[in-house]
Chain A
Amino acid sequence: MTPEPEPELREALLAAVPSLRAFAISLSGQVDRADDLVQDTLLRALANLHRFEPGTNLNAWLFTILRNLFHSEYRKRRREVEDPDGSYAGRLKVQPEQSSHLDFEDFRSALAKLPADQREALLLVGASGFSYEEAAHICGCAVGTIKSRVNRARFRLASLLNVEDIDDLGPDSMTRAALQG
């Protein structure tokens, strides 16, 4: 059965493109590759529209598709490329035209140093606006796993960017934060 070509759906897909791109660029560190990922995501979504449950979160569904495409491609590339994280960082550096604001340069390279699962969790929850539950659904893991990954991602970023004041790093503030959280 061919799904109805609803104009609202076209608009909804188009509206999702900026956030899909932002996620894909931040995830892969490569604009060209990110755009290919987004295109593949849209094509796959359109081919599988019958699987989408109306009334559920279209964006979450699209992000799930994109994420799965990214990881299957990543696994493929991993066989070819040693040290994928290093190559990610390298690619970020050779794209000055993509990062127009130098302010974000440090942040991007710190983000690139995170393990992929932590980067992904942080991007979904901290930037794309998904709840922990939605992010867990997108990544196919437990909510606690997402929370832990986001937590570790933030901690590592703070350490890489030296965000904390030295005083904040004392065991007392850590204990307080742990008690609060």
Chain B
Amino acid sequence: MTVDKGNKLARVVLENSRGSTPATDPKLDTGSQKRIGDQLRAMYDELMQQPVPDRFRDLLDQLDKKNGAKEGSQ
């Protein structure tokens, strides 16, 4: 299967490069790096687009009020 083949090859390369250059980690080619990066950001952007739950707004509002009251009483 293609998937298995790819993974096996990746492991072989990993071990080879470890053997020859122990101080350096293997690096992906730029194209693969970009594809991984794009997917990661797309997934992340979707999370960032989610509306802020009210609990956080409420929490900060409450603290504002508390602080405001403290200031007034001083």
Give the B-binding residues of A (Cβ under 8 A): 2, 5, 7, 10, 13-14, 17-19, 21-22, 25-26, 35, 38-39, 42-43, 46, 100-101, 103-104, 107-108, 111, 122-123, 126-128, 148, 151-152, 154-155, 157-164, 166, 168-171, 173-174, 176-178, 180-181
**Please, could you name 21 A-B residue pairs with CB atoms under 8 Å apart, sorted by A?**
A7-B64, A14-B60, A21-B52, A25-B47, A42-B56, A101-B46, A123-B44, A151-B26, A154-B28, A155-B10, A158-B28, A163-B32, A163-B36, A166-B5, A166-B9, A168-B29, A169-B6, A170-B13, A171-B17, A177-B27, A181-B27
Q: Give the number of residue pairs across the A-B interface with Cβ within 8 Å.
A: 147
Contact with A along B16-46 (1 / 0, CB 8 A): 1100010011111111110111011111101
Count class of interface residues, chain B: 35 or more
Q: Specify the main secondary structure of chain B where it touches its partner.
A: helix
In contact, B39 and A180 (Cβ under 8 angstroms): no
Query: What chain A residues lie within 8 Å of B37 (beta carbons)?
Result: 126, 154
Could you tell me the distance between the alpha carbons of A107 and B47 in the complex, rounded to whole angstroms? 14
Identify which of A5, A25, A180 contacts B68 (C-beta below 8 A). Answer: A5
What 3 A-B pairs have minimum CB-CB distances, sorted nearest first?
A: A5-B67, A22-B47, A127-B44
- Cα–Cα distance between A113 and B44 once the two chains are bound (Å): 17
Q: Is the interface of A mostly helix, strand, loop or mixed?
A: helix
Flag if A162 contacts B3 (CB, 8 Å): yes
Q: Judging by beta carbons under 8 Å apart, are A154 and B36 in contact?
A: yes
Which residues of A lie under 8 Å from residue B68 when comparing CB positions? Answer: 5
Query: Which of A10, A19, A122, A127 is most buried by chain B, counting CB atoms within 10 A of its CB?
Result: A127
Contact A148 B48 (CB under 8 A): no
Of all chain A residues, the one with the shortest Cβ separation from B25 is: A151
| Interface pair B59/A42, CB less than 8 Å apart | yes
Instruction: Give a binary string over B50-68; 1 marks a CB under 8 Å from any A CB, 0 the rest.
Output: 1011011101100110011
Question: A168 to B31, alpha carbons, bound, how many Å?
Answer: 9
Which residues of chain B have C-beta atoms less than 8 A from A18's C-beta? 47-50, 52
Pairwise interchain contact A164-B60, C-beta atoms closer than 8 A: no
Question: Is A107 a contact partner of B56 (Cβ separation < 8 A)?
Answer: no
